[in-house]
Amino acid sequence: SVMAFRLISRHNTQWQRLPDCTALTRHRLAVRIMDAVAPQNWKRELVIPARPMTRVRRVRWNCTGDYVCIAGCSNSTAHVTVYQYQNDKLDQVWTCSMGQGEAGAIAWHPTRKTMLAVTSSGNFTALFDLREGTRELMRVTSSDEHIDCRFSPDGSLLATNDMKNHVICTNITTKETVASKEFGFEVNDIDFTKDGKHLCVTAKQSVVLLRLPTLTTLASIHTNTSRTVAMTRDYVGRYMAVSGSDSCVTLIDATEMIAVAQIGEHDEVSRDLSFNHDSTLIALACSSKSFLFTTSGQQVTLISDEAARGPLVDYTCGTSLHFHPHENILATVDPTSTGCSFSVFKLKRS
């Protein structure tokens, strides 16, 4: 088809049609990138040594890469910490306790580098600005624990979802709820389309595209053979990625909103996903280890230098990771025997 030819031309590689049971789209076009060249070799340079933490759920860079945030709990209290990254050093500049429970997902504003939202197991998501201290600028509440939160591309809306599959979109300026709906299927993750006109939610084996503000279904993109788990959008507006409990990661064309490829030959569920700044690499955090692939399907072989040797040398027990918005710098949070550790690495072609 014309669509298939355009995708082939763009990637200059061989394509193979996937079985219908693996990936279906509304255009019935589902292809897999087959790359014949050898795996790429990359070198990891440890920038920030592992810092011991009690329990961390997420790590996220802000829009400029000046700050990196970790969220979790300490002594049964939801805890959020922000570090300033400068000259290959991290300095703690902000910390906040959010009451009993655990802090989970983090969303930085797409243009305001000091604004962020954090979910809490205390059934709310709070909006902060580092310049305003720990004062909450806004709080979105519901009847159950919040799972995720995302800003729209223009930063005007904040979307949240909870354990009861309740999705809420709030205008951060007026603090008014512009969309709210409880779904009859499991919603594990949410994100906006790159133009901000629609909201995407994971649903069973698919990603469902919802109209705003009604949250009615516009289309469904079949991505996995079992339950979808995590979803992310890249920095440049080229791809979205969706992982499932079938260990598959599907790439979705962010313009056409169709599944175009599956990547990652591994047997573990990817619970956190992150594209690098130019969308050529994608990192997958799994239960016992993490993987790095090119978006053309090549698994990347990471060669550790002496400084990087230690508990994270093979990405053992990856929990959360996130790429810097402008460089191939990866922040990781990994479980240890006493809790977890937080590190920052630079990735370079060897």
Output the pLDDT for position 308: 38
Residues 80 and 178: their CA atoms lie apart, in Å, by: 27
Residues 234 and 218: their CA atoms lie apart, in Å, by: 22
Output the pLDDT for position 302: 59
pLDDT tens, 311-323?
333 333 347 899 9
pLDDT tens, 262-301?
876 666 788 899 999 999 999 888 766 777 888 877 777 6
Task: Answer yes or no: are the C-beta atoms of 105 and 71 closer than 8 Å.
Answer: yes
Within 8 A by CB and 6+ apart from 2, the residues are none
Task: Answer yes or no: are the C-beta atoms of 165 and 141 closer than 8 Å.
Answer: no
At 338, the pLDDT band (50, 70, 90 cuts) reads low
Task: Answer yes or no: are the C-beta atoms of 249 and 261 closer than 8 Å.
Answer: no
H/E stretch holding 292:
strand 290-294
Q: How far is CA 125 from CA 115, 121, 128, 145, in A?
A: 13, 9, 10, 9
Output the pLDDT for position 49: 67
Question: Cα angle vertex 319, ends 239, 314, to 5°?
Answer: 95
Using alpha carbons, select from 151, 157, 189, 183 the residue that is nearest to residue 170.
Answer: 157
Mean pLDDT for 316-345 is 80
Output the pLDDT for position 35: 35
At 91, the pLDDT band (50, 70, 90 cuts) reads very high
Mean pLDDT for 169-174 is 97
Mean pLDDT for 233-243 is 94
pTM: 0.84
Is the pLDDT at 1 greater than 50, yes or no? no
Structure-block tokens of residue 292: 């790095």
| End-to-end Cα distance, the chain | 38
Task: Answer yes or no: are the C-beta atoms of 321 and 315 closer than 8 Å.
Answer: no
**Percent of all residues in the chain with a pLDDT value above 70, rounded to a whole number:** 79
Q: Residue 219, exposed/middle/buried by CB under 10 A (0-12, 13-18, 19+)?
A: middle
pLDDT tens, 16-74?
333 333 333 333 223 333 333 345 677 777 777 666 667 888 999 999 999 999 998 88
Residues 81 and 254: their CA atoms lie apart, in Å, by: 32
Output the pLDDT for position 53: 66
3-state secondary structure of 130: helix
φ/ψ of residue 140, rounded to 5: -105, 120
Is the pLDDT at 149 greater than 50, yes or no? yes
Average pLDDT, the chain: 81
